Amino acid sequence: MSRPAVHLIDGSLYVFRAWHSMPDEFHDADGHPVNAVHGFTRFLCELLERVKPEHLAVAFDASLTTSFRNAIYPAYKANRELPPPDLERQFVLCREVALALGVPVLIDHTYEADDLIGSALWTFRGHGFRSVIVSADKDFGQLLGDDDEQWDYARNLRWGPAGVHEKLGVHPHQVADYLALCGDAVDNIPGVPGVGAKTAAALLAHFGNLDALLDRVDEVPFLRLRGAASCAVKLREHAEAARLYRRLTRIALDAPVPLEADALRRQRGETGVMDALCERLRFGPLTRTRLRALLA
């Protein structure tokens, strides 16, 4: 762990968590609800106080209907409702809070937050950094290298590549293939019919990756696997669909992120900007004290 760390935060996850967990009693100066902003600000303050990171970024989603994945597969995330206007407005305010604290923000209308985090991780690995992905999302397991880790902040659980195998039964380089096979209901990716999580893990343990599995599908009926013959039939029928699903489950590493290491260095925030934001969002005295201390 001698390499410097860059903390890459799944901002949208923590905004949604605050939206669902914070009471609906916080309003800004114009009377609009800001419960998610208050919850997200407390989370970000606590993380900055606890870790004191020199390099970090918060990634936000702005591509629920405009992602490159929607062009490939129109049903992608079609099971999700668009955020209500009150929440959409609070996402913008959460970005303002992060920027006022000097925290770099990553956002794009074609690439999702996962892709921005993956691309930043890949870029910073080239600069000699290890990455700490602050999120509970299982998809991020595919990004973890030997020195990287994922941090479920709410549960204070951390894991590296070995933890991915403990949780899913596959190694990081197999996660995208695994999700393509067994599907991901959260993102409306159906997977191959009849292939569940355990079967997907067992197939990848034997064949190594999706391409080898589909190339050698004739071997599947001879595996010690429940319903192996039926599974082989489904894999033949849905081979092209599985390859398509992998294009959806694989996190992009070429999203537009800053290429220089200093671009994700935390900057000094401006007191005037923060004070105006505190007034507008009607933060309480404790939160204001924490924010001012973080600016110092």
> Are both 115 and 234 inside the same structural domain?
no
> Are both 135 and 178 inside the same structural domain?
no
Contact 107, 116 (CB under 8 A): yes
> Are both 17 and 97 inside the same structural domain?
yes
CA distance 131 to 123: 10
> Are both 129 and 92 inside the same structural domain?
yes
Express each pLDDT in 97-146 by its tens digit.
999 999 999 999 999 999 999 999 999 999 999 999 999 999 999 999 99
> Are both 26 and 92 inside the same structural domain?
yes
Please give the pLDDT value at position 220. 97
Q: Supply the CATH number for residue 91's domain.
A: 3.40.50.1010
Express each pLDDT in 67-76 by its tens digit.
999 999 999 9
> Are both 177 and 61 inside the same structural domain?
no
Nearest of 157, 161, 227, 222 to residue 194 by alpha carbon: 227
Express each pLDDT in 138-168 by its tens digit.
999 999 999 999 999 999 999 999 999 999 9
> Are both 176 and 71 inside the same structural domain?
no
pLDDT at 82 over 90: no
> Are both 288 and 154 inside the same structural domain?
yes
User: Which residue range is the domain that position 53 belongs to?
Assistant: 5-164+252-295
> Looking at 228, 249, 270, which one is the last position of a domain?
249
CA distance 192 to 199: 11
State the DSSP string of 126-188: HTT-EEEEE---GGGGGG--TT-EEEETTTTEEE-HHHHHHHHSS-GGGHHHHHHHH-BGGGT
Q: Supply the CATH number for residue 222's domain.
A: 1.10.150.20
> Are both 17 and 124 inside the same structural domain?
yes
Query: For the whole model, what pTM was predicted?
Result: 0.96
